Amino acid sequence: MAPPRIEKIITALDVGSWKVCALIAGQTADGQLHVLGTGQRESRGVQRGYVADMEQTEHIVREAIEQAERIAGLNIDDVWVSFSAGGLLSDVAPIACLSDEERDLGVALVELGAAVTTVSLYAGGMLVEMASLPFGASDITDDIASAFGIRRSQAQRLQSFYGSASASPRDNNEIIELEPGAPSGSDSPRVTRAQLVTVIRQRLDAMMGEIGRTLKDLHFVGPIGRQVVLVGGGADLKGIADYTQSALGRAARVGRPRGLHGLPDAHSGPAFATLAGLVLYAASDPVDLRDLPMMSQDVYKPAGTSILHRLMAALKSSF
């Protein structure tokens, strides 16, 4: 079968506190979107929704975009950017993971990011309320590291491979090696999975309590306040939907990106809802604010002409 004929190239970049990821997609004449290349790097220089080190952030952004370009076999000229760690956030995640019916009848989209949690309410087909909370999945990671005296990288591995929001009697019998690479026969520290789940649930209880209060403050009650959809890296935690449903007393599910052909398995989870939504948003031919008539004003034009120069100039001017 011949490869689809691409008529338009769309590139999206999502800068988060945990990761920076890029996606290059090709749009065919019938509107279908095919993933051509992806890139991902661990985020550096971004803390709690703020760019703390612009030089580090620029380096990671360059690496993510260049990786996607190598896989796609082309050089990009334009990029759509979402700063999901903070200020430059575009509300695009729902495009990839919410149905029209959900947005019409009423739904709360809870994005559990690394350092920031965003609660967005939809009703009547539109965004009606939004709030940002200063915590995220990295707080769970830090709790694990502190509780067991290990590095954050080790804590993140435990959280990803053994973590769960739901407790089970079997957890007491499952032993986890804190240092799996230790020599055979050495006195390697160990914990039970029950101990790990206890640490995770203590933090989740505090987070969900605050999310529940926020939903109440935003008047997410009555007929429109029955559905919660979870996205973001924190939504990858095993059992999070059932836990959320019990904690908030509302139906809950994990939102996964859809609408893109050839999306790699590594990028098909809830952590990539914003990235996928940004591509879908760009493909819908939204109004370009730069084309609208504006009042006379001074405009800053960066000296660099490459896409990366223009991108980093935009980030710098926003912080």
Of the candidate ranges 26-35, 88-97, 159-168, the one whose mean pLDDT is the lowest: 88-97
Q: Work out the average pLDDT over 17-42.
A: 92
| Rounded average pLDDT over 235-250 | 96
Lowest mean pLDDT among 59-63, 204-208, 234-238, 240-244: 59-63
Mean local confidence (pLDDT), 137-148: 96
Phi, psi of 68 (to 5 degrees): -65, -40
* Residue-level pLDDT at 316: 54
Structural contact between residues 191 and 178, judged by C-beta atoms closer than 8 angstroms = yes
Give just the sign of the alpha carbon dihedral 301, 302, 303, 307.
negative
Query: What tokens appear for 110 in the block?
Result: 């809870």
Question: Is pLDDT at 87 greater than 50 in this prediction?
Answer: no
Torsion, CA 220, CA 136, CA 311, CA 52, rounded to 10: 130
The 10s digit of each residue's pLDDT in 96-129 is: 999 999 999 999 999 999 888 999 999 999 999 9
* Phi–psi pair at 51, nearest 5 degrees: -80, 105
Cα 262 to Cα 33: distance, rounded to the nearest angstrom: 9
Collapsing DSSP states into helix, strand and coil, what is residue 165? coil
| 3-state DSSP of 58-125 | HHHHHHHHHHHHHHHCCCCCCCEEECCCCCCCCCCHHHHHCCHHHHHHCEEEEEECCCCEEEEEEECC
Q: Is the pLDDT of residue 288 over 70?
A: no
Least confident of 52-61, 239-248, 258-267: 52-61
Check whether 146 has a pLDDT greater than 90.
yes
Please tell me the distance from the alpha carbon of residue 77 to that of residue 116, in angstroms, as a whole number. Answer: 30
Confidence of residue 301 (pLDDT cuts 50, 70, 90): very low
- The string of DSSP codes covering 212-275 is HHHHHHTT--GGGSSEEEEESGGGGSBTHHHHHHHHHSSEEEE----S-BT--GGG-SGGGHHH
Say whether pTM exceeds 0.75: yes
Q: How far apart are CA 267 and CA 25, in angstroms?
A: 13
Domains annotated on the chain, with CATH: 8-88+259-317 (3.30.420.40), 99-254 (3.30.420.40)
Phi/psi at 94 (nearest 5 deg)? -65, -25
- The number of C-alpha atoms within 13 Å of 240 and in the hemisphere containing its C-beta is 27
Reading the block at residue 80, the tokens are 């759509």
**Mean pLDDT, rounded, of the chain:** 85
| 231 CB-near residues (< 8 Å, 6+ apart) | 93, 97, 109, 110, 111, 112, 254, 255, 270, 271, 273, 274
- How far CA 113 is from CA of 4, 32, 118, in Å, comes to 34, 29, 8
For the chain, percent of residues with pLDDT exceeding 90: 62
Residue 64 has pLDDT above 70, yes or no: yes
* Structure confidence at residue 287 (pLDDT): 56
Any residues with CB less than 8 A from the CB of 298 and at least 6 apart, and which?
none
How far, rounded to the nearest angstrom, does the alpha carbon of residue 45 sit from its chain's CA centroid? 17
Decide the pairing of beta strands 80-82 and 8-15: parallel
CB 258 within 8 A of CB 280: no
- Examine the pLDDT at 57 and tell me if it is beyond 70: yes
pLDDT at 272 over 70: yes
